[in-house]
Amino acid sequence: AQKVTQAQTEISVVEKEDVTLDCVYETRDTTYYLFWYKQPPSGELVFLIRRNSFDEQNEISGRYSWNFQKSTSSFNFTITASQVVDSAVYFCALSEADRNTDKLIFGTGTRLQVFP
Protein backbone atom coordinates (compact mmCIF):
# COMPACT_ATOMS: atom_id res chain seq x y z
CA ALA A 1 0.00 0.00 0.00
CA GLN A 2 1.12 3.55 -0.63
CA LYS A 3 1.70 5.65 2.42
CA VAL A 4 3.39 8.84 3.54
CA THR A 5 4.67 9.22 7.08
CA GLN A 6 5.57 12.51 8.72
CA ALA A 7 6.58 11.41 12.17
CA GLN A 8 7.16 14.92 13.52
CA THR A 9 3.82 16.29 14.60
CA GLU A 10 5.12 19.64 15.74
CA ILE A 11 8.48 21.39 15.75
CA SER A 12 9.38 24.63 17.48
CA VAL A 13 12.51 26.60 16.71
CA VAL A 14 13.85 30.05 17.30
CA GLU A 15 14.36 32.35 14.35
CA LYS A 16 17.56 31.76 12.36
CA GLU A 17 17.80 28.14 13.37
CA ASP A 18 17.92 25.49 10.64
CA VAL A 19 15.14 22.93 10.72
CA THR A 20 14.53 19.68 8.83
CA LEU A 21 11.11 18.20 8.25
CA ASP A 22 11.11 14.47 7.66
CA CYS A 23 9.07 12.57 5.11
CA VAL A 24 9.15 8.81 4.58
CA TYR A 25 7.07 7.15 1.90
CA GLU A 26 6.04 3.66 0.83
CA THR A 27 5.15 2.65 -2.70
CA ARG A 28 5.37 -0.35 -4.98
CA ASP A 29 5.61 1.82 -8.07
CA THR A 30 8.89 2.52 -9.81
CA THR A 31 7.55 5.75 -11.25
CA TYR A 32 6.10 8.23 -8.84
CA TYR A 33 6.28 11.85 -7.78
CA LEU A 34 6.74 13.44 -4.40
CA PHE A 35 5.47 16.84 -3.35
CA TRP A 36 5.76 19.31 -0.52
CA TYR A 37 3.04 21.82 0.34
CA LYS A 38 2.92 24.63 2.86
CA GLN A 39 -0.29 25.56 4.68
CA PRO A 40 0.05 28.95 6.39
CA PRO A 41 -2.49 30.11 8.99
CA SER A 42 -4.69 31.48 6.18
CA GLY A 43 -5.50 27.85 5.31
CA GLU A 44 -4.68 27.59 1.62
CA LEU A 45 -2.13 24.92 0.72
CA VAL A 46 0.70 26.30 -1.35
CA PHE A 47 2.71 24.06 -3.66
CA LEU A 48 6.46 24.11 -2.94
CA ILE A 49 8.11 21.39 -4.98
CA ARG A 50 7.57 18.30 -7.10
CA ARG A 51 10.24 15.64 -7.59
CA ASN A 52 10.07 12.52 -9.75
CA SER A 53 11.40 9.15 -8.73
CA PHE A 54 14.20 9.17 -11.29
CA ASP A 55 15.77 12.40 -10.13
CA GLU A 56 17.67 12.04 -6.88
CA GLN A 57 19.51 15.30 -7.12
CA ASN A 58 19.04 17.56 -4.16
CA GLU A 59 17.29 20.82 -4.87
CA ILE A 60 17.82 24.23 -3.36
CA SER A 61 15.55 27.22 -3.66
CA GLY A 62 16.66 30.13 -1.55
CA ARG A 63 16.48 29.05 2.09
CA TYR A 64 14.66 25.86 1.17
CA SER A 65 16.33 22.60 0.22
CA TRP A 66 15.12 19.09 -0.38
CA ASN A 67 16.97 15.83 0.05
CA PHE A 68 15.54 12.86 -1.87
CA GLN A 69 16.99 9.43 -1.06
CA LYS A 70 15.39 6.42 -2.70
CA SER A 71 17.54 4.05 -0.63
CA THR A 72 15.75 5.18 2.52
CA SER A 73 12.46 6.19 0.85
CA SER A 74 12.79 9.67 2.24
CA PHE A 75 12.18 13.14 0.91
CA ASN A 76 13.23 15.55 3.63
CA PHE A 77 12.80 19.31 3.61
CA THR A 78 15.23 21.71 5.25
CA ILE A 79 14.68 25.38 5.97
CA THR A 80 17.89 27.27 6.58
CA ALA A 81 17.89 30.32 8.83
CA SER A 82 14.21 29.99 9.63
CA GLN A 83 11.97 33.02 9.85
CA VAL A 84 8.69 33.69 11.61
CA VAL A 85 6.94 33.67 8.22
CA ASP A 86 7.93 30.03 7.85
CA SER A 87 5.47 29.12 10.59
CA ALA A 88 2.94 26.83 8.96
CA VAL A 89 1.87 23.23 8.57
CA TYR A 90 3.92 21.39 5.97
CA PHE A 91 2.62 18.40 4.08
CA CYS A 92 4.51 15.81 2.11
CA ALA A 93 2.56 13.93 -0.57
CA LEU A 94 3.01 11.04 -2.96
CA SER A 95 1.32 10.64 -6.32
CA GLU A 96 -0.20 7.35 -7.29
CA ALA A 97 0.86 5.53 -10.43
CA ASP A 98 -2.41 6.20 -12.24
CA ARG A 99 -1.46 9.25 -14.23
CA ASN A 100 -5.01 9.81 -15.36
CA THR A 101 -6.33 10.78 -11.99
CA ASP A 102 -3.45 12.58 -10.29
CA LYS A 103 -4.48 11.44 -6.85
CA LEU A 104 -2.19 12.49 -4.05
CA ILE A 105 -1.59 10.66 -0.80
CA PHE A 106 -0.78 13.11 1.97
CA GLY A 107 1.11 12.68 5.18
CA THR A 108 -0.42 13.95 8.38
CA GLY A 109 1.63 17.13 8.30
CA THR A 110 4.23 18.77 10.52
CA ARG A 111 3.39 22.01 12.28
CA LEU A 112 6.40 24.30 12.37
CA GLN A 113 6.45 27.20 14.80
CA VAL A 114 9.24 29.72 14.46
CA PHE A 115 9.59 32.06 17.41
CA PRO A 116 11.26 35.45 17.21
Partner 1 sequence: DVKVTQSSRYLVKRTGEKVFLECVQDMDHENMFWYRQDPGLGLRLIYFSYDVKMKEKGDIPEGYSVSREKKERFSLILESASTNQTSMYLCASSAAGGWVEQYFGPGTRLTVT
Using CB under 8 A as the binding rule, whether residue 99 contacts partner 1 is answered as yes
Using CB under 8 A as the binding rule, whether residue 52 contacts partner 1 is answered as yes
Using CB under 8 A as the binding rule, whether residue 71 contacts partner 1 is answered as no
- 111 Ramachandran zone, left/alpha/beta (phi>0; psi -120 to 50): beta
The C-alpha atoms of residue 97 and residue 49 are separated, in whole angstroms, by 18
Cα atoms in the 13 Å half-sphere on the side-chain side of 54 = 2
The C-alpha atoms of residue 98 and residue 87 are separated, in whole angstroms, by 33
Nearer to partner 1, 37 or 77 (CB): 37
Using CB under 8 A as the binding rule, whether residue 64 contacts partner 1 is answered as no
Nearer to partner 1, 53 or 80 (CB): 53
Smallest distance from partner 1 to CB 71, Å: 22
First and final C-alpha spacing in the chain: 41
Site residues, partner 1 (CB under 8 A): 6, 9, 32-33, 35, 37, 42-47, 50, 52, 91, 95, 99-104, 106-109
